[in-house]
Amino acid sequence: MLALFLLGLFALIIMGVPVAIALVGTAVLMMLAQGDMTTLKLAQSYIIGTDSVPLLAIPFFMLAGEIMNAGGISKRIVNFAKVLLGHFRGGLGYVGVLASMIFAGISGSAVADTTAVGSVVLPIMGESGYKKEKSTALICSAGCIGPIIPPSTQMIFYGVIAEVSIVKLFLGGIIPGILIGLGLMVMWYFHAKKENYPVGVRASFKELCIATKESIWAILLPGFIITCIVTGIATATETAALAVVYALIVAVFIYKEMAIKEWVEIIIRACRGTAVMMLVVGAANVAAYLITTAQVPQLLADTILSLTDNVYLFMLLVNVLLVLIGCVMDSGPAILIFAPILLPIAKTFGLDPIYLGVIMVCNLCIGLATPPVGNVLYVGVGLGKVRLIDLIKNIWPFLVMMFAILFTITYFPNLIMFIPRNFG
């Protein structure tokens, strides 16, 4: 049944069928194979998959990100990062990474992160004589941090599927996200030194104060989100709604760069993005239901346990599997499909579901920058005005660093679990 599911799903995706429809089509194929073709069960599973209060956080976080982007937030974040790091050799590269890390605490989306930061930073990097292919590769890699540092739509998906604390998942992504950002800066350091990029002028204390004053409201939003969740003032869903109110006040009344008439278009964009996600969520729940009724996770667990009882080898196999999946499938659908399969097996090895969830999200988010399906690559092609093949050639050193950090957090679980255990 697992082979039938995977072959049917990937065959439909390769044919160009949208993921949501491909999942439903595969579910129908599995129903026929089991001799239990009941459209009522299919419809019920689809509706149940979308009927979840935690999923309400997704449209709110998406709306907050749209407001912040339309309200001139991204350029203020970039300017703040430039004042802090612009005086180093190749400083604009560090600026792009730091700005991506800050914006990740607002949007929770790799595509939104890459678009917001890249649209501001990449033209400046090009004018400063930086190699546009390598610069675009860096910004695309940094954009993958978007769903790792909280908030994160992918972690919400996993939390709903695994029935675990979304708060702890958010907290578990903080250290891995910071490590990936620092790792990208290390790789950029060697590139900047090799290319002998210019050294920027160090900002004065007055310029630092001005940049901080202009961007403080944007920088405080990620801290506001994490504080609300950690202190228990609000749930993840309630915090998302508060983030929308916060973003609206900042964009309209403080920065005054977003007119009320833009509100309708912003809501439409957020609704479109949410609708696409929810179509996939419902379809994935149908597939997960059929996989569970066919006892695929139990059978797969028995097979793996018959081959090895070594947890380190198991996690190696999980990472290799997810790397391959990330190359051909977007992170959201991949989590919805494979979390129900891998979670029962991980529990037999005594692994914490929070740990597994963060590993899955980190792995599949790196896949957003890997060919042939990497979404941020195609965003980068448009923003950087580079060829896809040239972007792929230049991004591999950053991918190597990100995968090195992935395996580090895999075999040193405290890097993930320290904050959730002590502050969750």
Write down the domain spans for the chain.
53-278+296-423
CA angle 250, 253, 259 (to 5 degrees): 100
Q: Other C-beta atoms within 10 Å of 22: how many? A: 23
249-257: long-range contacts, CB 8 A cutoff, minimum separation 24: 250/68, 250/71, 250/73, 250/217, 250/218, 250/221, 251/67, 251/68, 251/70, 251/71, 251/72, 251/73, 252/71, 254/217, 255/71, 255/72, 255/73, 255/76, 255/217, 257/70, 257/71, 257/72
Q: Which tokens in the block code for residue 229? A: 């969740």
Q: How far apart are CA 111 and CA 153, in angstroms?
A: 12
> How far is CA 320 from each of CA 25, 315, 363, rounded to the nearest angstrom?
27, 9, 9
Q: Other C-beta atoms within 10 Å of 403: how many? A: 17
> How far is CA 124 from each of CA 9, 82, 160, 186, 192, rounded to the nearest angstrom?
42, 11, 41, 21, 16
DSSP state, residue 56: G
Q: What is the pLDDT of residues 40-92, one digit of tens each?
A: 777 888 888 788 777 888 888 888 878 877 777 777 888 888 888 888 888 98
User: Strand, coil or helix: what is 89?
Assistant: strand
Burial class (CB in 10 A: 0-12, 13-18, 19+), 111: middle
Q: What is the pLDDT of residues 140-188, one digit of tens each?
A: 999 999 899 988 888 988 998 888 988 899 999 999 999 999 999 999 9
What pLDDT, on the 0 to 100 scale, is given for residue 129?
87
Q: Other C-beta atoms within 10 Å of 186: how many? A: 9
Q: Name residue 89's beta-bridge partners.
A: 199
Q: What is the pLDDT of residues 381-405, one digit of tens each?
A: 888 889 888 999 999 999 999 999 9
What pLDDT, on the 0 to 100 scale, is given for residue 424?
63
Q: Mark the ranges of the chain whose per-residue pLDDT is less than 70.
A: 37, 424
Q: How far apart are CA 29 and CA 37, in angstroms?
A: 9
Q: Which residues, including other chains, have CB under 8 Å from residue 132's CB and lie 6 or more apart?
A: 122, 125, 126, 384, 385, 386
Asked if residues 386 and 118 have their Cβ atoms less than 8 Å apart, the reply is no
What pLDDT, on the 0 to 100 scale, is given for residue 69?
74
The radius of gyration of the chain from alpha carbons, rounded to an integer in Å, stands at 21
Q: How far apart are CA 359 and CA 12, in angstroms?
A: 27
Owner of token pair 């005594």: 350
